[in-house]
Amino acid sequence: MSDAYIALEDGSVIEARCRAPGRTRGELVFTTAYTGYEESLTDPSYEEQVLTFSYPLIGNYGVREERFESDRVHPRAAVAREFTDDVAAWLSEAGVPAIDHLDTRELVTSIRERGAMKCGIAAGEDATPEAAKAELAECKSMSDHIDIGKRVTTVEHTLYEGGGEYSVALIDCGAKGSIISSLNERGADVHVLPYDASEADVQTVDPDVLFISNGPGDPVNFPNAQSLVETFTGELPIAGICLGQQIVARAFNGETEKMAFGHRGVNQPVKDVQTGQVIMTTQNHGYTVSDPGDLDVTQVNVNDDTAEGLASDDLRIITRQYHPEANPGPHDSLGFFDDVLGLVNKGTPVTAD
């Protein structure tokens, strides 16, 4: 007898096995990553979503805290063909429902055909299909959560020292830890500021670069970060990753839109417009830049031509839709951080130690 159920927006209810009990709801998305499950589950960009792994076995190299991207699990629930006991125990301790022993191939196909959809999950001894349906009925779309930044941002200004060669003001819209460590490794002190930081907050740390982080949901829900971009344009070099790219684009008369099922995984091919070089990237986003506005598109996704990189040489602006800091990989695009710090010296190359 099944002890877990997931009710989908298309009306179907799927039986499963409970690996971590609980009831929850959220937007059902999938990732094609076959490694990096610890990084994915602690990525703030998955806040309020239910994460499905397309790779059939999740947990085959254990759980190690040093690989976490933040201090907690962010998806509301996790779904896989099979979770190992280590991952199941970790999620249970974190209070995050987890279910397995269902056909994730069919589930992922449904998401690809119908788009990301709402779902409700009930897992545990008292789980019933009706309970999962009740959770689904309570589910709201991500666009309703205008306060989502508050759930993933730092509470106060925090300094991560990296040698003092550069000073970066990182606006934390849900930043991954690897962004901070990648900048630290290149000699930059990183001042992590809340997503609603003021102009005065930024000026206080006297940065060389304004950096807008990744984060969850719709970029329209981060108007303060957009305002900071507008304020410091021409005064400071500006960089952005993932949600950060979308926020920067909107600050330059660009437009963004929700994708059918987004880009999530470690195998997204990206082409440089000028050189024609293709690199493999890690991505996790459900929105994209549909119109770059006053910025130039420098990189595109090979699969669907969406904007993967934006820039303005005159204004010293550079962004990426994917995650150059990807852990455990691929590492094709780590040079982005060198390029960002190079903007401080008007394009002088910067080399990591």
Question: For tokens 């006297």, what's the residue?
Answer: 206
Phi-psi sector, 310: left (phi>0), alpha (psi -120 to 50), beta: beta
- For 217, phi then psi, to 5°, come to 80, -155
Residue 89 placed within a domain: yes
Q: How far apart are CA 140 and CA 180, in angstroms?
A: 32
CB 83 within 8 A of CB 33: no
Residues flagged as binding site: 45, 215, 217, 243, 246, 284, 286-287
Confidence (pLDDT) at 107? 96
How far is residue 334's CA from residue 339's CA, in Å, rounded to a whole number?
9
Residues 233 and 279 in one domain: yes
Q: Report the CATH number at residue 18.
A: 3.50.30.20
353 in a domain, yes or no?
A: no
Quote the distance between the C-alpha of residue 98 and its chain's center. Answer: 20
The answer as to whether 73 is a domain residue is yes
Average pLDDT per 10 consecutive residues for the chain, totaling 353 residues: 92 97 96 94 96 97 96 98 98 98 96 94 97 90 72 97 97 97 97 98 98 97 97 97 98 97 94 96 96 98 98 97 86 91 71 41
Among 140, 174, 203, the domain boundary falls at 140
Q: Are residues 173 and 320 in the same domain?
A: yes
Q: Are 133 and 103 found together in one domain?
A: yes
Instruction: Specify if 319 maps to a domain.
Output: yes
Judge if 317 and 181 occupy the same domain: yes
- Looking at 98, 122, 140, the residue that finishes a domain is 140
Q: Which of 140, 163, 181 is the last residue of a domain?
A: 140
* Same domain assignment for residues 192 and 50: no
Is the same domain home to 161 and 306? Answer: yes
Asked if residue 105 belongs to a domain, the reply is yes
Is residue 242 among the annotated active site residues?
yes
Q: Is residue 193 part of a domain?
A: yes
User: Which contiguous run of DSSP H or E holds residue 330?
Assistant: none
Q: Is 351 inside any structural domain?
A: no
Does one domain contain both 161 and 223?
A: yes
Q: Please tell me which residue in 74, 191, 285, 323 is annotated as part of the active site.
A: 323
> Do 261 and 335 have their domain in common?
yes
User: Do residues 170 and 54 both lie within one domain?
Assistant: no
What CATH number should be reported for the domain holding residue 167? 3.40.50.880
Same domain, 180 and 280: yes
- Predicted confidence at residue 192, as pLDDT, reads 98
- Domain range for 309 is 148-345
Residue ranges for the binding site for L-glutamine? 45, 215, 217, 243, 246, 284, 286-287
User: What is the pTM assigned to this prediction?
Assistant: 0.94
The structure tokens listed for 249 are: 């684009």
Number of independent structural domains in the chain: 2
Whether residue 202 is found in the same domain as residue 117: no
Is 101 an annotated catalytic residue? no
User: From the candidates 18, 119, 173, 242, which is the catalytic residue?
Assistant: 242
Sheet holding 209-212, edge to edge: 158-160, 188-194, 166-172, 209-212, 238-241, 317-320, 307-312, 296-301, 255-272, 278-291
Residues 92-138: tens digit of each pLDDT: 999 999 999 999 999 999 999 999 999 999 999 999 999 999 999 99
Whether 119 is catalytic: no
Asked if residue 225 is part of any domain, the answer here is yes
| Same-domain status, 159 and 275 | yes
